[in-house]
Amino acid sequence: MDKRRLIAVAAAAVISSVSVVCAAAATGAQPTDKLGLSKDQQLTAWNDLYMGSLNQKTPAGFDAIVGASMPRGVVTAPVTPRAVNDLPTLRPYAFAMVQRKLVIVNPIDRKIAAVIAE
């Protein structure tokens, strides 16, 4: 990813993560640090959110597992309207693509709530 695109994505993520937190507060939905999704829900989330071209590098030694903190250098974005429409439980979360996995993140504390692999 070139530098300008990364900066634009990061700026958009910061702005939109504020929107996600505000929207979650307005609807009463609060993200947690663990999100239980069935296999069907995981497949839906994967189909709605995964974009391999946005896969980001992570620091050496980092492993995308539930409960881990997402490194600050990894850009997250709010879950898309399509994914929220298909899976309303995703509304208060953010997501990122790292290590060829879809990672669902609590935007408040940046803890990984779910990891979905192809």
Q: What is the phi-psi region of residue 49: left when phi exceeds 0, alpha when psi lies from -120 to 50, beta otherwise?
A: alpha
Confidence (pLDDT) at 3: 61
Confidence (pLDDT) at 106: 95
Confidence (pLDDT) at 24: 47
**87 pLDDT tier (thresholds 50, 70, 90):** very high
- Give the mean pLDDT of the chain: 83
Instruction: Report the distance separating Cα 109 and Cα 33, nearest Å.
Output: 8
What average pLDDT score do residues 52-72 get?
91
What average pLDDT score do residues 51-68 get?
91
Using an 8 Å Cβ cutoff, are 10 and 73 in contact? Answer: no
Does pTM top 0.85 for this prediction? no
